[in-house]
């Protein structure tokens, strides 16, 4: 897009937002919007969210989620669709009796029996809806436009006659002819509705169109506007925000964006965009977002991808050396700054992998309470990158194992025994055999030995090669796969005893268990020799 020279001058205006961070354009474009001061959050996790294929919550689970939503500070909890089943009605009733600060709402078609089922639950609000687009009207409910208007008026009046709040939704509003849509909303308003909702039922809107529809409704109706966007094209959040830009005062959202088909607008994303970018208030206690997301993930079984914004495991994780270095110096260099992990109850993580840098690794080691010299940090980083290059995800547990092994290694200059080469032969018709070449002080020692398996053969070969120098006994051997998978990092701990009763242990972490075992053994042997040297001097 070409920006006129007049506009581009204003876009160059410097608008500082937060300590040290300057946003040049956002405040400028906000002036062209009709943003409300506050947006109400209508949570439909327990209704549309539960319509996620494969999700079915028990009454107790729904109550647990409702309590958490209340703690989070949502304005409305749509607890369910009471007419749909006995269990659903029981859940809505129980949630309504919980004494929550949030308003509790029940869904109902514009049918009196649906509305009565919701009213029976003692809800604070009934959300009534009917299809208004031609395609849905003609093929599903089979009602004329006039009949729909009558149903709307009757439903709203019935709800209001019972003294509860009424939210009216024109289902498939975004595919409804505009003049008719306005007529439907006006009918609801005249019948006493407290708020009207514009649902993008099949998720076909784009932000400018959502803005236009909302604006049109805003200009014709005087009660507050709510929006409900589906995510079929991944546009539920931008479309919801576009409606807010045009004056919508309430947004329907779900935790983790779950819901029918591709889901609804995610509460976390809408709320954080409003809070941190638009600077529009909500009642949400954002520090509970992460724990709420985790609870819903656990109870619904719908797992969030790691790269999911705000609450995904990687939302505040940094791997590349450049980013990590920047973040360690000042987090805002490679994070939005206007949103921190603390604000959403998450945590910042420096992840190790092939892009890791020594700065990041060093910070992670400090967090793990491991003191490593520069040399050791360099060696740990080298090994982490080596694993990353092989396509392996290096977990915190892997890093800990590598670091402990490297830090525990005997310094090069103190080493008496060093491994030069080793090879193992194994198979289903051969006796596992290992050959080893070691450097002992300035001598080269070589030998081979068999064993019950490749590890046993390799350790036997090391002991045999050193037998002329010292008789070493293996007293303990532990092998642990740090993370799952056949390429898991293996951690080996061995304990050895020499002929004089000196005991030492050695540790190593490698993907190859034979390698790890030999390395751990050599490490322990060096410790024994160091002990012997020290006792000679003492």
- Per CB under 6 A, residues contacting ligand KIV are 48, 129, 169, 171, 199, 201, 228, 230
DSSP state of 175: G
Nearest to 170 by CA among 211, 133, 142, 216: 133
CB of 283 to ligand KIV, least distance (A): 22
Q: Let me know: does 255 contact 49? Beta carbons within 8 Å.
A: yes
Q: Which is nearer to ligand KIV, 203 or 506 (CB)?
A: 203
CA pair distance 336, 92, nearest whole angstrom: 39
Give me the residue label for tokens 């070691």: 438
CB of 453 to Zn ion, least distance (A): 59
Site string for Zn ion, 219-258 (x = CB under 5 A): ----------------------------------------
289: number of CA atoms within 13 Å, CB side?
Answer: 31
Residue 81 binds: one of Zn ion, ligand KIV, none (C-beta under 5 to 8 A by kind): none
CA pair distance 317, 355, nearest whole angstrom: 13
Site for Zn ion in 140-159 (CB under 5 A): none
Return the range that interacts with Zn ion (CB under 5 A); candidates 45-53, 122-130, 151-159, 398-406.
45-53
Q: Let me know: does 66 contact 59? Beta carbons within 8 Å.
A: no
CB of 199 to ligand KIV, least distance (A): 3
Residue 137 binds: one of ligand KIV, Zn ion, none (C-beta under 5 to 8 A by kind): none
Q: Let me know: does 57 contact 46? Beta carbons within 8 Å.
A: yes
CB of 134 to ligand KIV, least distance (A): 15
Residue 245 binds: one of Zn ion, ligand KIV, none (C-beta under 5 to 8 A by kind): none
> Does position 172 bind Zn ion by CB under 5 A?
no
Structure token pair of residue 145: 């436009």
CA pair distance 376, 96, nearest whole angstrom: 60
Structure token pair of residue 425: 């032969």
Q: Which is nearer to Zn ion, 171 or 289 (CB)?
A: 171
Residue 515 binds: one of ligand KIV, Zn ion, none (C-beta under 5 to 8 A by kind): none
CB of 50 to ligand KIV, least distance (A): 11
Q: Which is nearer to ligand KIV, 230 or 346 (CB)?
A: 230
Residue 61 binds: one of Zn ion, ligand KIV, none (C-beta under 5 to 8 A by kind): none
CB of 245 to ligand KIV, least distance (A): 21
Give me the residue label for tokens 């581009």: 8
Nearest to 453 by CA among 504, 497, 517: 517
Contacts of 372 (CB under 8 A, 6+ apart): 362, 365, 380, 403, 406, 407
Residue 278 binds: one of ligand KIV, Zn ion, none (C-beta under 5 to 8 A by kind): none
Residue 451 binds: one of Zn ion, ligand KIV, none (C-beta under 5 to 8 A by kind): none
Residue 265 binds: one of Zn ion, ligand KIV, none (C-beta under 5 to 8 A by kind): none
Residue 169 binds: one of ligand KIV, Zn ion, none (C-beta under 5 to 8 A by kind): ligand KIV
CB of 166 to ligand KIV, least distance (A): 14
Q: Let me know: does 197 contact 160? Beta carbons within 8 Å.
A: no
Nearest to 286 by CA among 345, 347, 348, 349: 345
Q: Which is nearer to ligand KIV, 78 or 268 (CB)?
A: 78
Q: Across 415-526, where does the E strand assignment appear? A: 417-425, 433-440, 443-450, 473-481, 490-497, 503-510
CA-based radius of gyration for the chain: 33
Burial (CB count within 10 angstroms: exposed 0-12, middle 13-18, buried 19+), residue 10:
middle
Q: What is residue 271's three-state secondary structure? A: helix
Q: Which is nearer to ligand KIV, 49 or 345 (CB)?
A: 49
CB of 229 to ligand KIV, least distance (A): 9
CB of 201 to Zn ion, least distance (A): 6
CB of 121 to ligand KIV, least distance (A): 17
Q: Which is nearer to Zn ion, 92 or 522 (CB)?
A: 92
> Does position 48 bind Zn ion by CB under 5 A?
yes
CA pair distance 425, 479, nearest whole angstrom: 20
CB atoms within 10 A of CB 40: 19
Return the range that interacts with Zn ion (CB under 5 A); candidates 40-48, 58-66, 152-160, 354-362.
40-48
Q: Across 309-391, where does the E strand assignment appear? A: 317-318, 349-350
Q: Which is nearer to ligand KIV, 223 or 331 (CB)?
A: 223
CA pair distance 103, 108, nearest whole angstrom: 16
Q: Which is nearer to ligand KIV, 124 or 291 (CB)?
A: 124
Residue 80 binds: one of ligand KIV, Zn ion, none (C-beta under 5 to 8 A by kind): none
Residues lying near Zn ion in the complex (CB under 5 A) are found at 48
């Amino acid at each position: 897009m070409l920006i006129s020279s007049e506009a581009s001058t204003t876009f160059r205006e410097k608008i500082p937002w937060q300590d040290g961070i300057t946003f040049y354009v956002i405040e400028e474009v906000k002036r062209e919007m009709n943003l409300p001061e506050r947006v109400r959050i209508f949570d439909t996790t327990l209704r549309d969210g539960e319509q996620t294929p494969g999700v079915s919550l028990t009454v107790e689970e729904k109550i647990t989620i409702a309590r958490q939503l209340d703690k989070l500070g949502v304005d409305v909890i749509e607890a369910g669709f009471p007419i749909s089943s006995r269990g659903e009605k029981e859940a809505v009733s129980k949630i309504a009796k919980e004494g929550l600060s949030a308003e509790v709402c029940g869904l109902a078609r514009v049918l009196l029996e649906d509305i009565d089922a919701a009213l029976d639950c003692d809800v604070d609000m009934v959300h009534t809806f009917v299809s208004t687009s031609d395609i849905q009207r003609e093929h599903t409910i089979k009602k004329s436009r006039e009949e729909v208007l009558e149903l709307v008026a009757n439903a709203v009046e019935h709800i209001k006659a019972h003294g509860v709040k009424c939210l009216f939704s024109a289902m498939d509003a975004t595919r409804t002819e505009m003049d008719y849509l306005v007529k439907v909303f006006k009918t609801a308003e005249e019948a006493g509705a407290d708020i009207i909702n514009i649902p993008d039922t099949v998720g076909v809107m784009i932000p400018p169109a959502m803005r236009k529809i909302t604006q049109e409704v805003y200009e014709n109706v005087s009660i507050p506007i709510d929006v409900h966007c589906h995510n079929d094209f991944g546009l539920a959040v931008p479309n919801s925000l576009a409606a807010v830009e045009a004056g919508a005062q309430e947004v329907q959202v779900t935790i983790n964006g779950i819901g029918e088909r591709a889901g609804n607008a995610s509460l976390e994303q809408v709320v954080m965009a409003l809070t941190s970018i638009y600077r529009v208030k909500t009642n949400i206690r954002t520090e509970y977002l992460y724990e709420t997301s985790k609870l819903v993930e656990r109870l619904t079984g719908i797992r969030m991808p790691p790269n999911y914004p705000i609450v995904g495991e990687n939302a505040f994780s940094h791997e590349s050396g450049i980013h990590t270095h920047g973040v360690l110096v000042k987090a805002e260099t490679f994070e939005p700054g206007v949103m921190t992990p603390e604000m959403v109850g998450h945590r910042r993580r420096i992840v190790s992998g092939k892009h890791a840098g020594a700065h990041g690794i060093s910070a992670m080691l400090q967090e793990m309470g491991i003191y490593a010299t520069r040399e050791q940090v360099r060696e740990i980083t080298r090994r982490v990158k080596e694993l990353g290059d092989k396509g392996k995800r290096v977990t915190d547990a892997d890093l800990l194992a590598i670091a402990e092994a490297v830090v525990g290694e005997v310094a090069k200059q103190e080493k008496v025994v060093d491994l030069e080469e080793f090879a193992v032969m194994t198979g289903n018709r051969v006796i596992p055999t290992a050959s080893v070449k070691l450097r002992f002080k300035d001598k080269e020692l070589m030998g081979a030995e068999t064993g019950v398996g490749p590890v046993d053969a390799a350790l036997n070969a090391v002991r045999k090669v050193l037998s002329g120098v010292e008789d070493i006994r293996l007293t303990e051997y532990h092998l642990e796969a740090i993370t799952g998978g056949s390429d898991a990092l293996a951690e080996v701990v061995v304990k050895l005893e020499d002929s004089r009763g000196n005991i030492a242990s050695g540790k190593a972490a490698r993907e190859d268990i034979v390698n790890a075992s030999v390395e751990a053994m050599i490490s322990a042997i060096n410790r024994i020799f160091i002990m012997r040297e020290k006792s000679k001097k003492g």
